[in-house]
């Protein structure tokens, strides 16, 4: 059986294999011949190409050993260094290796010196395709482009934009405020980093004005002050009172903006909240005034303090224990009930099958 099936498959394999192997040999031969023809032919390949220079005259269809090719700098490049720009086809049919280092990229017009400005040549030179970055000295700001690019059009180079300039940072006087004033109010123009300091006028009413916000402003950029001016207004918090406790620091007649007060609870009480409060700009104590709670300070601040008093049971634990007991009882009862049901079932099943088996045995021979 194996002998009859094997020859039926083999011829198909044999018929395919001779043809490709013949072609392969032919292909290899052709490639080898081509390679030999190429390597032993009396010709160099096309002359090499360069980024900065191009050959003088037209390219010939073929070059023989001894043939010479001259190069010149391309448009946008100039002859700057004494490297050879001539190559020739050598006896082994390869071009004498040369470089295009003789040519250099054309540069843009020299940049003028810009007062109070530092120039950064991003690509190292001011040749076309290269960028220049400008940064003003401190206290000056840039008018114009931060970056300019040297560009090439035909044989000419030019800057993409006009060079910027750096101008002195100045600020006009900061805003005037109600019920207050600032220093140097007679100055018309402020220079970079110069500052003014605000203060509130004395009040003619019963409460003093509080300065809310930044007291000092600085000229940080052209026409820009460091922040908005402060306000002068009455900020007054309620007299700090603590039931079952007392104030221990910061005693005053009136509690204005940023007044700070510290509290202490009476013996047998403890502070709930912050013992230090500050009068904020909304005339409210921040954080809110604390309360004094009866009893010692809780030892475990993470647990609700009410459960920590001696003799006070923790309901959560009782609840958990109860659940555990019920769960165990339920599991035991279910298990016993399950076993009982299984036993009963098994017993009934065995008995039932014995009876059925007997009856079927009696009936079987009767059927035909």
Ligand X SMILES: *[C@@H]1O[C@H](CO)[C@@H](O)[C@H](O)[C@H]1NC(C)=O
Enumerate binding residues for ligand X (CB under 6 A). 90, 92, 94, 122-123, 129-131, 280-282
Closest contact distance (angstroms) between CB of 92 and ligand X is 4
Closest contact distance (angstroms) between CB of 122 and ligand X is 5
* Cα separations in angstroms, 156 against 106, 132, 159, 213: 8, 18, 10, 58
- The rounded distance, in Å, linking the Cα atoms of 186 and 173 is 9
For the chain, what is the radius of gyration of the CA atoms? 50
3 state SS of 230: coil
Q: Name the nearest CA neighbour of 272 among 290, 296, 247, 289.
A: 290
Q: Which one, 226 or 280, has the nearer CB to ligand X? A: 280
Q: Name the nearest CA neighbour of 273 among 286, 290, 285.
A: 290
Cβ atoms within 10 Å of 303's Cβ, excluding its own: 12
Q: Which one, 34 or 129, has the nearer CB to ligand X? A: 129
Tokens 């220093």, located at residue: 183
Is the distance from CB of 236 to CB of 212 less than 8 angstroms?
no
Q: Which one, 88 or 218, has the nearer CB to ligand X? A: 88
Closest contact distance (angstroms) between CB of 264 and ligand X is 25
- The rounded distance, in Å, linking the Cα atoms of 253 and 304 is 38
Tell me: cis bond preceding 293? Omega within 30 of 0 counts: no
Q: Which one, 62 or 334, has the nearer CB to ligand X? A: 62
How far out from the chain centre does Cα 299 lie? 44
Closest contact distance (angstroms) between CB of 238 and ligand X is 15
Number of residues written out for the chain:
368
Q: Which one, 229 or 245, has the nearer CB to ligand X? A: 229
Q: Which one, 226 or 281, has the nearer CB to ligand X? A: 281
Closest contact distance (angstroms) between CB of 99 and ligand X is 15
Q: Which one, 153 or 362, has the nearer CB to ligand X? A: 153
Closest contact distance (angstroms) between CB of 254 and ligand X is 19
Closest contact distance (angstroms) between CB of 280 and ligand X is 4
**Dmax (CA) of the chain:** 132
Is the distance from CB of 47 to CB of 95 less than 8 angstroms?
yes
Question: Which are the contacts of 152, defined by CB distance < 8 A and separation ≥ 6?
Answer: 76, 106, 128, 129
Handedness of CA 178, 184, 190, 194 (dihedral sign): negative
- The rounded distance, in Å, linking the Cα atoms of 184 and 165 is 30
Closest contact distance (angstroms) between CB of 286 and ligand X is 6
Tokens 């500050």, located at residue: 278
Q: Which one, 227 or 344, has the nearer CB to ligand X? A: 227
Q: Which one, 21 or 282, has the nearer CB to ligand X? A: 282
Closest contact distance (angstroms) between CB of 108 and ligand X is 13
């Amino acid at each position: 059986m194996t002998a009859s099936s094997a020859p039926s498959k083999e011829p198909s394999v044999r018929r395919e294999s001779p043809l490709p192997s013949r072609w392969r040999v032919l292909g290899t031969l052709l490639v080898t011949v081509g390679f030999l023809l190429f390597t032993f032919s009396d010709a160099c390949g096309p002359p090499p190409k360069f980024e900065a220079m191009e050959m003088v005259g037209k390219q010939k269809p073929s070059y023989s050993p001894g043939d010479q090719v001259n190069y010149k700098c391309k448009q946008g490049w100039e002859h700057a260094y004494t490297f050879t720009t001539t190559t020739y086809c050598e006896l082994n049919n390869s071009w004498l290796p040369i470089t295009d280092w003789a040519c250099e990229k054309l540069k843009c017009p020299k940049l003028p010196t810009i007062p109070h400005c530092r120039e950064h040549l991003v690509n190292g030179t001011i040749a076309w395709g290269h960028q220049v970055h400008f940064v003003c000295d401190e206290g000056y700001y840039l008018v114009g482009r931060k970056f300019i690019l040297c560009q090439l059009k035909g044989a000419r180079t030019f800057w993409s934009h006009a060079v910027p300039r750096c101008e002195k940072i100045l600020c006009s006087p900061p805003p005037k405020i109600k019920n207050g004033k600032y220093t140097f109010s007679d100055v018309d123009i402020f220079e970079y980093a110069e500052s003014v300091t605000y203060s509130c006028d004395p009040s003619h009413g019963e409460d003093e004005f509080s300065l809310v916000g930044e007291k000092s402003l600085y000229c940080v950029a052209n026409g820009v002050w460091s922040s908005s001016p402060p306000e002068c207004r009455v900020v007054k918090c309620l007299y700090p009172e603590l039931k079952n406790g007392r104030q221990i620091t910061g005693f005053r007649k009136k509690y204005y903006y940023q007044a700070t007060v510290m509290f202490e609870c009476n013996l047998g009480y403890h502070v709930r909240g912050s013992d230090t409060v500050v009068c904020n700009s909304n005339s409210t104590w921040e954080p809110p005034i604390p309360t004094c709670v009866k009893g010692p300070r809780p030892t475990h601040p993470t647990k609700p303090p009410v459960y920590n008093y001696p003799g006070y049971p923790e309901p959560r634990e009782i609840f958990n224990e109860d659940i555990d007991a019920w769960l165990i009882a339920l599991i035991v009862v279910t298990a016993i009930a399950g076993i009982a049901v299984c036993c009963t079932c098994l017993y009934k099943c065995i008995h039932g099958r014995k009876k059925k088996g007997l009856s079927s045995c009696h009936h079987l021979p009767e059927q035909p």
